[in-house]
């Protein structure tokens, strides 16, 4: 049983535990964001096999739903360094599902090169395209081929696994945070900061923090320019997630979330998704000096954002920062 089942009696959505909870929280070293009270929730530890981080939490809800639907193949998309695609491939395989991946080129650095090698070894079926337009054109053919083979349609999951099932994971994680606050392990955060690549993490947190009765605001550091990830988009996904939970038996006595409940900022994105900006590289290097392993595409940018505006009115302290990277 997930925390969500305790909090929302009647919820029939199935949950497959893939990691140990709660993920630890601790005060961040003072030199990383000088003069600002920042707490770290270490999501990098989540995931008992293969690959860790925030994507694995999403699969805890997606894999059981795939089985419930009788799906044989998950079809999803991402950049050639997609963490999400790799997690889907590894955990899907462990739980009897094939993964079909449509990959789009992105700026290549050592981390992306490593990721691509892992994807190639993951057992997923990979199809690589120069841009999103070409992937979109090829998608019907990929779906038709897979349907013929499986005698069943693959289940299409958007980039990052950010549908309402994936976002449910971070509703659950928000309840976990509330439990850690109640247990005195950290103060009630004024802001929770996360990198935003496809929105499921931020949307789930926004809904979960409200369900948990915390006043914490979500500050999303948007790192992807391939599709809109502004506050209305995030809040829209949070509201669709609440609808899913209601459809599956939960009684949720909340009005719809409004865009004013979350802040989404693109200031640290750089030129495009995957652009390793100087601020992000500097943040990764600073973290490394404190034995904290980040990467420049997501977590480096979220640390860079805190170094710039942490403690100001748009990102009040105490801050809880999610380290969503899952190196294995």
Ligand X SMILES: Cc1ncc(COP(=O)(O)O)c(C=O)c1O
Q: Which 3-state string (H, E, C) describes 210-274?
A: HHCCCCCEEEEEECCCCCCCCHHHHHHHHHHHHHHHHHCCCCCCCCCCCHHHEEEECCCCCCCCC
Q: Which residue from 196, 262, 279, 315 is in contact with ligand X, where contact means CB under 6 A?
A: 196
The reply to whether 197 sits near ligand X by the rule CB under 6 A is: yes
At closest approach, how far in Å is the CB of 171 from ligand X? 12
In the complex with ligand X, which residue's Cβ is closer, 147 or 226? 226
Beta strands in 190-230 (DSSP E): 191-196, 217-222
At closest approach, how far in Å is the CB of 198 from ligand X? 3
Measured distance CA(314)–CA(328) in Å, rounded = 34
Measured distance CA(219)–CA(176) in Å, rounded = 18
Torsion region of 184: left, alpha or beta (phi above 0 gives left; psi -120 to 50 gives alpha): left
Stretch that binds ligand X, among 106-114, 123-131, 196-204, 246-254 (CB under 6 A): 196-204
The phi and psi torsions of 75 (rounded to 5 degrees) equal -115, 120
Q: Which residue from 25, 299, 315, 321 is in contact with ligand X, where contact means CB under 6 A?
A: 299
Stretch that binds ligand X, among 92-100, 103-111, 144-152, 194-202 (CB under 6 A): 194-202
At closest approach, how far in Å is the CB of 151 from ligand X? 31
Within 94-153, the residues that bind ligand X by CB under 6 A are: none
Measured distance CA(175)–CA(214) in Å, rounded = 9
Decide: 225 and 272 in contact? Cβ < 8 Å. Answer: yes
As a dihedral over the C-alpha atoms of residue 310, residue 28, residue 7, residue 155, rounded to 10 degrees, the angle is: 80
Q: Which residue from 52, 160, 270, 276 is in contact with ligand X, where contact means CB under 6 A?
A: 160
The CA-based angle 85-268-223, given to 5 degrees, is 15
In the complex with ligand X, which residue's Cβ is closer, 268 or 298? 298
Q: Which residue from 46, 91, 219, 298 is in contact with ligand X, where contact means CB under 6 A?
A: 298
The phi and psi torsions of 263 (rounded to 5 degrees) equal -115, 130
Stretch that binds ligand X, among 5-13, 138-146, 200-208, 309-317 (CB under 6 A): 200-208
Q: Which residue from 200, 296, 300, 310 is in contact with ligand X, where contact means CB under 6 A?
A: 200
Structure tokens at 188: 């009630």
The reply to whether 41 sits near ligand X by the rule CB under 6 A is: no
At closest approach, how far in Å is the CB of 299 from ligand X? 6
Within 235-294, the residues that bind ligand X by CB under 6 A are: none
In the complex with ligand X, which residue's Cβ is closer, 39 or 84? 84
At closest approach, how far in Å is the CB of 139 from ligand X? 20
Within 49-88, the residues that bind ligand X by CB under 6 A are: 53-55, 83-84
As a dihedral over the C-alpha atoms of residue 252, residue 254, residue 258, residue 262, rounded to 10 degrees, the angle is: -70
The reply to whether 89 sits near ligand X by the rule CB under 6 A is: no
In the complex with ligand X, which residue's Cβ is closer, 36 or 193? 193
Measured distance CA(26)–CA(73) in Å, rounded = 39
Q: Which residue from 191, 198, 216, 263 is in contact with ligand X, where contact means CB under 6 A?
A: 198
Enumerate binding residues for ligand X (CB under 6 A): 53-55, 83-84, 160, 162, 195-202, 298-299, 324-325
């Amino acid at each position: 049983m997930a925390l969500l089942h305790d909090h929302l009696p009647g919820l029939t959505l199935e949950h497959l535990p893939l990691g140990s909870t709660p993920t630890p929280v601790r005060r961040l070293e003072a030199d990383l964001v000088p003069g600002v009270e920042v707490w770290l929730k270490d999501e990098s530890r989540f995931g008992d096999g293969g690959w860790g981080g925030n994507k694995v939490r999403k699969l805890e809800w997606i894999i059981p739903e795939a089985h419930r639907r009788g799906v044989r193949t998950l079809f999803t998309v991402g950049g050639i360094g997609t963490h999400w695609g790799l997690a889907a491939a590894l955990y899907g395989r462990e739980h009897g599902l094939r993964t079909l991946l449509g990959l789009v080129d992105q700026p290549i650095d050592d981390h992306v090169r490593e990721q691509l090698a892992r994807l190639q070894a993951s057992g997923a079926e990979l199809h690589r395209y120069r841009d999103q337009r070409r992937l979109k054109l090829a998608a019907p053919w990929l779906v038709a081929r897979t349907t013929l083979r499986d005698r069943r349609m693959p289940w299409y999951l958007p980039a990052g696994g950010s549908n309402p099932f994936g976002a449910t994971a971070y509703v659950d994680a928000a309840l976990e945070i509330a439990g850690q606050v109640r247990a005195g392990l950290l103060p009630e955060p004024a802001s929770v900061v996360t990198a935003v690549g496809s929105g499921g993490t931020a949307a789930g947190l926004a809904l979960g923090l409200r369900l948990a009765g915390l006043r914490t605001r979500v500050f999303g550091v948007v790192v992807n320019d391939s599709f809109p990830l502004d506050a209305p988009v995030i809040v829209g996904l949070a509201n669709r997630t609440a609808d899913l939970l209601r459809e599956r038996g939960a009684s949720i006595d909340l009005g719809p979330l409004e865009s004013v409940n979350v802040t989404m900022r693109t200031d640290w994105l750089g030129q495009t998704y995957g652009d390793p900006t100087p601020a992000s590289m500097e943040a990764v290097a600073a973290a490394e000096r404190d034995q904290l392993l980040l990467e420049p595409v997501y977590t480096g940018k979220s640390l860079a954002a805190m170094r710039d505006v942490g403690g100001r009115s748009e990102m009040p302290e105490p801050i809880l920062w999610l380290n969503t990277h899952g190196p294995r």
